[in-house]
Amino acid sequence: MRPISPEFHRRAFLAAGLATMTAGGADAAAQPFFKRHGLPIGIQLYTLAPDAAKDLEGTLKAVAGVGYRSIELQGLLGRSGAQMRAALDAAGVTCASIHVQGRGQLDGDLAKLSDDLGAIGVKYAVMPSPLISNQQIQAGGGDWRKALTLLTADDWKANADFLNEKAAVLAKSGIKLGYHNHNFEFAPLGSTNGMEILFEKTDPALVTFEVDVGWVAAAGLDPAALLQRYKGRVSLMHVKDIKPETQPNFALKMDPTEVGSGKLPWTTLLPAAYAAGVRGFYVEQEPPFARPRIEAARISHDFLAGLKA
């Protein structure tokens, strides 16, 4: 019998290794998106705001029971940082991101705010809407929603300056400041819009963004294209779906639905978000709800948990 050459052994070893890597890659690709990337499916507690207002501890335990392990808070809900941390720990969930208002929080005692957020373990503080003045609200006929659509380019530049200023302070405590969009930011202002101004005028080293893909789609825009355009500037995402009948607008209007039940292309959108740098994904659903909010949260969670993308 002809002896087996060392070269044969080498080729066989390389072929076996390639087959193993290929099989491993195939196995990884077959896993659902969140499991493959080792990321928790998070939820913005605004989704269950009325429930949380009545019974925070019970609501946290309920979402944990659904399978959520990462919570984005809608403010401190009247608790201190230590009290909120105790409630989160009791439910077995964590909180790395929280929404904080520009008026009453970011323009107040940032040392105290930093202490509270540090006690919780927060890494991202997100301003959920721009600063508007009483005069601007009056200009909108007393309707703050109308006032938001009347902001000028200078107003958006002032918001960018505010974000830069507060972000520099929070950074000293290891907290990154971000901004969360709706759809009014995309209303045309000549050749630009409010969102473009915020991206352009904020310091990339200090200010990050949380892109709400549902509101981007409600503005008639492609969320994946936006994420690609601002790759590296977006750390967080609101995983939000809308019904196909939603008409493009800039006036805080949408037809909401559970994730996976609407028009957004999640099999391509989630990988696009990951490629752009997003690592915090939070389900959020706007009212009105067709079913109890916790049931809606379960539908969204279960869809995402099994989604291969």
pLDDT of residue 3: 40
Question: Three-state secondary structure along 9-56?
Answer: HHHHHHHHHHHHHHHHHHHHHHCCHHHHHCCCCEEEHHHHHHHHHHCH
pLDDT of residue 2: 39
pLDDT of residue 24: 52
The β-bridge relationship of strands 94-99 and 70-73 is parallel
In sequence order, the β-bridge partners of residue 256 are 242
pLDDT of residue 77: 96
Alpha helices (H) in the chain, listed in sequence order: 6-30, 33-37, 49-54, 56-66, 81-91, 110-120, 134-139, 144-148, 153-170, 194-201, 213-218, 223-229, 266-276, 293-305
Per DSSP, 186 falls in state G
pLDDT per residue, tens digit, the chain (309 aa), is: 434 344 434 444 444 444 444 445 556 668 999 999 999 999 999 999 999 999 999 999 999 999 999 999 999 999 999 999 999 999 999 999 999 999 999 999 999 999 999 999 999 999 999 999 888 888 888 888 888 988 999 999 999 999 999 999 999 999 999 999 999 999 999 999 999 999 999 999 999 999 999 999 999 999 999 999 999 999 999 999 999 999 999 999 999 999 999 999 999 999 999 999 999 999 999 999 999 999 999 999 999 999 999
Instruction: Please tell me the distance from the alpha carbon of residue 71 to that of residue 282, in angstroms, as a whole number.
Output: 8
Are 27 and 36 contacting, i.e. CB atoms less than 8 angstroms apart? no
pLDDT of residue 140: 84
Instruction: Please tell me the distance from the alpha carbon of residue 177 to that of residue 141, in angstroms, as a whole number.
Output: 31
DSSP 150-178: T--HHHHHHHHHHHHHHHHHHGGGT-EEE
In sequence order, the β-bridge partners of residue 99 are 126
Q: What are the distances in angstroms from CA 278 to CA 37, 190, 233, 234, 261?
A: 12, 30, 9, 6, 22
Instruction: Please tell me the distance from the alpha carbon of residue 186 to that of residue 218, in angstroms, as a whole number.
Output: 10
Instruction: Please tell me the distance from the alpha carbon of residue 65 to that of residue 43, in angstroms, as a whole number.
Output: 13
Instruction: Please tell me the distance from the alpha carbon of residue 123 to that of residue 139, in angstroms, as a whole number.
Output: 36
Per DSSP, 184 falls in state G
The single-letter code of the amino acid at 171 is A
pTM here?
A: 0.90
Residue with tokens 């609200």: 137
Give the number of residues written for the chain.
309
SS3 148: helix
The β-bridge relationship of strands 241-242 and 256-257 is antiparallel
pLDDT of residue 27: 63
Q: At residue 106, what are phi and psi to the nearest 5 degrees?
A: -70, -25
Residue with tokens 């909401």: 256
